[in-house]
Amino acid sequence: MATHHHHHEHSGEHLISEAGRVLAAAGEQWTQMREDVFRVLAAQDRPASAYDIAEAVGNARGKRVAANSVYRILDLFVRTNLANRIESANAYMANSHPGCQHDCIFLICDDCGQADHFDDDKLTNALRAAGAEHGYSHVRPVVELRGLCAECSG
């Protein structure tokens, strides 16, 4: 039986304020640009690329935003647990529980691109232990399962 990690999911303005709180607690500034990037990311219903986010932020600000700037902000968000990177798609998702540190297991639909996550500490701890057995330290499990979501396989 899998052990599950329980946490409080945030959405809407509560998610935005929690993200700002978590970033400040990490010793980082919650700038207007960082908030704008997070708002765009949090509004996505699927993983988004840095280019898509840069375009949306640029449209909202009325001026071009460089993808490199967005990549730096997204890297910061991943490091501080505000966002998750979907490795296989080179895309990002807002973390709906930014104050909670754990490893998410992602389910990604090959047809529509929808991504969901669940937590299974037993599985990710086993992966971390396997890495340690092979001489690796600071192992960060990245687990992505690809298939068809219920809507696409229906």
Return the domain boundaries, the chain: 12-94, 104-153
**Residue 29 CB: number of other CB atoms within 10 A?**
8
Classify domain 104-153 by CATH number: 3.30.1490.190
pLDDT of residue 66: 95
Q: Which residues neighbour 6 within 8 Å (Cβ) at sequence distance 6 or greater?
A: none
- pTM (two decimals): 0.81
DSSP state, residue 97 = S
Q: What percent of the chain has pLDDT over 70?
A: 90
For residue 5, pLDDT over 70 is answered with: no
Across the range 45-70, mean pLDDT stands at 95
Query: 122, 3 in Cβ contact below 8 A?
Result: yes
Across the range 115-124, mean pLDDT stands at 87
For residue 52, pLDDT over 70 is answered with: yes
User: Does 118 or 20 have the greater pLDDT score?
Assistant: 20
For residue 1, pLDDT over 50 is answered with: no
Classify domain 12-94 by CATH number: 1.10.10.10
Query: 7, 15 in Cβ contact below 8 A?
Result: no
For residue 38, pLDDT over 90 is answered with: yes
